Structure 1
Amino acid sequence: MKKMTLFILALSLSAIASAQITVTGIVINDSIPLELASVMIKNSTNGIATSNKGEFKLEAKKGDTLSVSFVGYKTKELVLNKTEDFTFKLDEENSFDEVVVVSCHNATITCYKGACGWYREDVSLLDNKSGKKNKLYPNPSSNGIFQLMLVNNYNKVSISIADMSGRSVQNTTQQKFGKKGTIDLSAYPTGIYIVNIIADGKRLEPIKAIKS
């Protein structure tokens, strides 16, 4: 009886193990690897961002739907049936509505609304005169806590954070910000987020935050 129980247990564990698969692959646009593309198991918090070579490795189960997305590109989905090395070629999102705003802080701003949210073309309002960049660290962050380091000091900083679908998940405003602050995404799922910053009325360059 004991041997039979152990045999049944072994079969059960084997069945569970066989349902688990390791998915690897690369995300590209034509032949160019897409770094920081979002690779997610649909309807879960299981996901990862691609490396600087566009590569990813993810544990999944047979029957899971893999969703691959990147800002400005059409999302692709695939039902997983076996362990395989996949190549995802993403197509650029062409369905944009263009809006032009003239004479805003002496600059012309062009905004586009696509499947993943709003994007803008605007060089004159970006904080890049010094050649330095505003940044988050650590990035990726395993616990979702980021330190935001800005190039300049600011009195008032408003931060709006959106997920990869363009949905706003967090909005905060801090007075007497200085150069350094904290962004807390610990309560949100693993994935890539876009951090939009307005500092003393000036829109800074968006930053990608990766919760791994």
Structure 2
Amino acid sequence: MTFISFEGIDGSGKSTQARRLAEALRARGHAVTLTREPGGSPGAEDIRRMVLEGEAERWSARTELLLFTAARRDHLEKTIQPALDRGEIVITDRFADSTRMYQGLRGGLEDQVDILHASMIGVEPDLTVLIDIPAETGLGRARARHGGEQRFEDMGLGLQRQMRDGFLRLAAAPRFQIIDGTGDPDAVAQDVLGAVLARLPL
């Protein structure tokens, strides 16, 4: 069973690198499920539209925590665990560490995040790849996308700096691998693949 998550601030390139890793592992003959949070299952995708669009102050961090946990539970039941049970590698673009940051750290809800995660989710990735870039770079990239899912980007540079610092503190845990995301995407993809192959028995 291999479960890999990608984390990072908005605009870090983690979605691109999650996709690139999935492609590289499939090319090596592995069955891979590539998914994302919030989302990854029909019910969770409904919640995604609620929490990522609209005004920045639409939801409090406490309400977001409940919504994200509900989405993650559905995602785990409908997508992640069935794929793991089939013997596939699961790669997810964000998982519980994003909730620890965007709701826990931002809202001062760290204890509540951990309590909900332990009681409702109870799963951590085997490996978490943190794509690290400066907050200014990430915010510039994220805003350049001009998509509809800009609610957290609209909270500004201060939030992105807080989130980057928080992710780097989380990355002291053994399951993390920090990858410098400032380089060429091809070079970053090679770094990711090398790190994954070195850390997991694939």
Report the TM-score, using the length of structure 2 for normalisation: 0.26
The structure whose residues are more often strand, as a share, is 1
Report the TM-score, using the length of structure 1 for normalisation: 0.25
